[in-house]
Structure 1
Amino acid sequence: MSEFENVTAPPPPPPSGSAPQEDRTMALVAHLLGIFTGFIGCLVIWLINKDDASKAFVTDQAKEALNFQITVAIAFVISWILMFVLIGFLLLPAVGIANLVLCILAGIKANNGEAYRYPFALRLIK
């Protein structure tokens, strides 16, 4: 089975009970930091919480945010390159607006305790 067959994995089953408010807030911060810091903020949150089994929700959401921000960074680079043929001038704002909207939606869902999956993201970090 190829690793690319299941590109959009379903969210993991929720842990026993709902995630604590502190974990939901950290997941919210991981998603919203992507707007301001790109992939760096998500990476820091993921690295801090990845080894703690009690922080499974935070780790999952930080990893999801990190994968999406890496995808957005790649899209920004491609849009910048395409500016030389003028289509990049349309793509660059579209990528920025999509990043803003999807990060806010993900933050709201994560704060409600729901595992959010971005509609399109390269799953580079597993």
Structure 2
Amino acid sequence: MTDPQPASPGYPPAAQPLSPADEKLWSTLAHVGNVLGLLPSLLIFLILGPRGPKVKQESREALNFVITAIIAIVALAIIGAIASGIGAAAPSGIGLLFGLITLLIGLVQFAVYVLVIVFSIVAAVRVNNGGSYRYPFALRLIK
């Protein structure tokens, strides 16, 4: 009678694959997590992605989308800060124009966040119903 080989010391045991129900759950949560920012989809991608192909695919897609949204919001914030600085230093007529531009940029930032919420909910519903979702606009930075 042979004894089973013990795990090699210093190496953790291999992670078990996720059940189909767990894959569906974590794939859905990766999209819902976009509402909170980058961290939920990043953690799901890094921790659970290797344990299931659907989780890896959906968390990668969610991560790419939220990174794209963050890039857009930061770029708009930089442009808004520049416009605000120019407006503060400019004469009153031009200052008012740059003030309106700064307000418009703030509204666009808000619209980007609303789009993140809407698309994330649509993606979560589609994935929870057994499908897959690809965001209509997202930089494919994570391959």
Contact residue 49 and residue 59 of structure 2 kept, 8 A: no
Which of these residues, 99, 120, 133, is aligned with residue 116 of structure 1? Answer: 133
Gaps of 5+ in 1: 1-18
The equivalent of 1:35 in structure 2 is 35
User: Between Structure 1 and Structure 2, whose CA radius of gyration is higher?
Assistant: 2
The equivalent of 2:116 in structure 1 is 99
SS in 2 for 1:50: helix
Question: Residue by residue, what CA displacement relative to the aligned partner does 1:39-88 show, whole Å, maximum 9, x if unpaired?
Answer: 11101000112323xx1011100000000010011011012122233131
SS in 2 for 1:81: helix
**1:70-89 aligned within 5 A:** 70-84=67-81, 85=83, 86=102, 87-89=104-106
Amino acid at match of 2:108: L
SS in 1 for 2:142: coil
CA distance in structure 2 between the partners assigned to 1:61 and 1:43 by the alignment: 11
CA distance in structure 2 between the partners assigned to 1:77 and 1:96 by the alignment: 12
CA distance in structure 2 between the partners assigned to 1:56 and 1:42 by the alignment: 15
User: What's the TM-score once normalised by structure 1's chain length?
Assistant: 0.78
More helix, by proportion: 2
Contact residue 81 and residue 88 of structure 1 kept, 8 A: no
Gaps of 5+ in 2: 1-18, 84-101
User: What's the TM-score once normalised by structure 2's chain length?
Assistant: 0.69
Question: Residue by residue, what CA displacement relative to the aligned partner does 1:20-49 show, whole Å, maximum 9, x if unpaired?
Answer: 22211111111111101x111101000112
Identity %: 38
CA distance in structure 2 between the partners assigned to 1:83 and 1:104 by the alignment: 28
The equivalent of 1:16 in structure 2 is none
The equivalent of 1:14 in structure 2 is none
Indicate the RMSD between aligned Cα atoms, in angstroms.
1.4
- Bigger relative contact order (CA 8 A; separation at least 6): 1
The equivalent of 2:91 in structure 1 is none
SS in 1 for 2:50: coil
